[in-house]
Amino acid sequence: MSAGTVERVRAAIRDVPDFPKPGVLFKDITPVLSDPALFVDVVETLAERYRPMRIEKIAGVESRGFIFGAPLAARLGVGFVPLRKFGKLPHATVAETFDLEYGTETLEIHADAFRPGERVLVVDDLLATGRTAEASVKLVRKAGGEVVELAFVVELAFLAGRKRLDGIPVYALVKFE
């Protein structure tokens, strides 16, 4: 991605103070989505990065990971697997429960989502503390996949989420230090 595109993405991200609770500065990516040229640039930039990596499936984390992961999977010609909140998937699942800053969450995936050892890219919009990303990695592994990398549009590097990710490579288009 060109430096100009990175700056366009950075400029489009809107700060929303005190959301979802007082003291949190939320990084809102919806302006990136509402700009069709910028959204296409983001998906194509990710596709350029991942084409040579032999990714076999993309796992998108509910819900904003779906927004970027599904078109990326289509662009790469690979399958898309949703990591859903508890109770949303209709078939046999495996689950991972984890703590968030403001509660507990459970993600699920279909138990047959991956062939053993299948190369998986996990996609979400934002890496903050790393708790959701860490749970996503555990869940993909439980279902038999091999996490090749985690991809994010935004990383809040000052929250050190990478430290929770067991050395798995992380890529973020835009980092806030």
CA pair distance 121, 65, nearest whole angstrom: 11
Structure tokens at 91: 């078939």
Q: Is 162 assigned a catalytic role?
A: no
Q: Is 146 assigned a catalytic role?
A: no
Structure tokens at 38: 């910028």
CA pair distance 143, 110, nearest whole angstrom: 8
Sequence-separated contacts (24+) of 7-14 with Cβ below 8 Å: 8/38, 8/41, 9/38, 9/41, 9/42, 9/153, 9/173, 9/174, 10/174, 12/38, 13/154, 13/174
Specify the DSSP class assigned to residue 24: -
Structure tokens at 151: 């991809």
**Catalytically annotated residue among 64, 108, 134, 162:** 64
Contact of 126 with 27, CB cutoff 8 Å:
yes
**Catalytically annotated residue among 14, 101, 115, 146:** 101
List active site positions.
Answer: 64, 101
